[in-house]
């Protein structure tokens, strides 16, 4: 299997998994993060400095980041490859009367259907562990953002050592799969979550990749006792 085939294979598996858990995604996120996930997205949006302009939320899922962005700017595009996730985002957007500000587009983050330099900034929340090629993902984000624009990545990070790391690992590997299976009936998806965090990059490793892809002024902010990171880079 060549690289493109293997990317497509992973994408299909990811899309099918999120289609299955879409009805429970928001509730489980909220419970598993102890109600903190909205706050983390708010921090990411503040760091993107989206004031006005056209803004992209890649791997938008059920659209919570896109909706947060719509509080600051009136042209937000949410892109995802899973229609079932975005449909929930669309419903929330209509309920909030934000449908003129947020467009949902089906597409692949690894081949963004936008021309170069077409957004003022771009964000993604909890997407990095799910994409088949992180370098290509970042390169695509960088391509579509205007020079001087920011790219912001919010993600769970690999468990650290020490007491906090031990507690985090216990929570991630022992509690999350049980809670996820109980609430969604999908044990596989919530075993995938800790596994994907466990083999993900450290904050420093990810920062280096952003620099290698060509971002300037790369920095990160740690949240939730270092278990969440928001990386920012400038094109």
Ligand X SMILES: C[S@@+](CC[C@H](N)C(=O)[O-])C[C@H]1O[C@@H](n2cnc3c(N)ncnc32)[C@H](O)[C@@H]1O
* 108 belongs to the binding site for ligand X (CB under 6 A): yes
Of residues 18 through 47, those in contact with ligand X by CB under 6 A are: 18
Minimum CB distance to ligand X smaller for 80 or for 120: 80
Q: Of 75, 130, 207, 227, which one interacts with ligand X (CB under 6 A)?
A: 130
Can you read off the two tokens belonging to residue 185? 């009936």
* 48 belongs to the binding site for ligand X (CB under 6 A): no
Minimum CB distance to ligand X smaller for 197 or for 218: 197
39 sits in which H/E element: helix 37-48
Distances (CA, A) of 219 to 3, 11, 152, 193, 215: 30, 28, 10, 25, 10
* 155 belongs to the binding site for ligand X (CB under 6 A): no
* 65 belongs to the binding site for ligand X (CB under 6 A): yes
| Nearest one of 126, 5, 117, 112 to 62, comparing CA atoms | 126
Closest residue to ligand X using C-beta atoms = 61
Q: What is the nearest approach in angstroms of ligand X to the Cβ of residue 197? A: 11
Of 45-53, 75-83, 93-101, 177-185: span binding ligand X (CB under 6 A): 75-83
* 15 belongs to the binding site for ligand X (CB under 6 A): yes
Q: What is the nearest approach in angstroms of ligand X to the Cβ of residue 199? A: 16
Minimum CB distance to ligand X smaller for 108 or for 120: 108
Q: Of 28, 32, 48, 60, which one interacts with ligand X (CB under 6 A)?
A: 60
Can you give the binding site for ligand X, defined by CB under 6 A? 11, 14-15, 18, 59-61, 64-65, 80-82, 85, 108-110, 125-127, 130-131
């Amino acid at each position: 299997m060549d690289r493109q085939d293997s990317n497509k294979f992973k994408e299909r598996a990811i899309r099918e998994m999120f289609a299955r858990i879409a009805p429970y995604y928001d509730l489980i996120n909220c419970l598993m993060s102890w109600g903190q996930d909205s706050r983390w997205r708010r921090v990411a949006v503040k760091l993107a400095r989206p004031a006005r302009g056209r803004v992209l939320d890649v791997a938008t899922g059920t659209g919570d980041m896109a909706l947060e962005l719509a509080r600051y700017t009136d042209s937000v595009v949410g892109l995802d490859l899973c229609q079932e996730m975005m449909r929930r985002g669309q419903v929330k957007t209509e309920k909030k009367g934000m449908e003129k500000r947020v467009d949902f587009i089906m597409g692949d983050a690894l081949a963004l259907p936008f021309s170069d330099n077409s957004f003022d900034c771009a964000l993604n929340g909890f997407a990095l562990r799910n994409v088949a090629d992180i370098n290509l993902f970042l390169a695509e984000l960088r391509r579509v953002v205007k020079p001087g624009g920011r790219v912001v990545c919010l993600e769970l990070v690999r468990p650290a050592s020490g007491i906090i790391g031990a507690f985090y690992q216990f929570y991630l590997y022992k509690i999350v799969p049980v809670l996820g299976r109980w609430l969604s009936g999908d044990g596989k998806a919530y075993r995938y979550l800790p596994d994907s965090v466990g083999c993900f990059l450290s904050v420093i490793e990810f920062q280096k990749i952003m620099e290698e892809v060509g971002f300037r002024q790369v920095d990160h902010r740690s949240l939730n006792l270092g278990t969440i990171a928001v990386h920012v880079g400038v094109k």
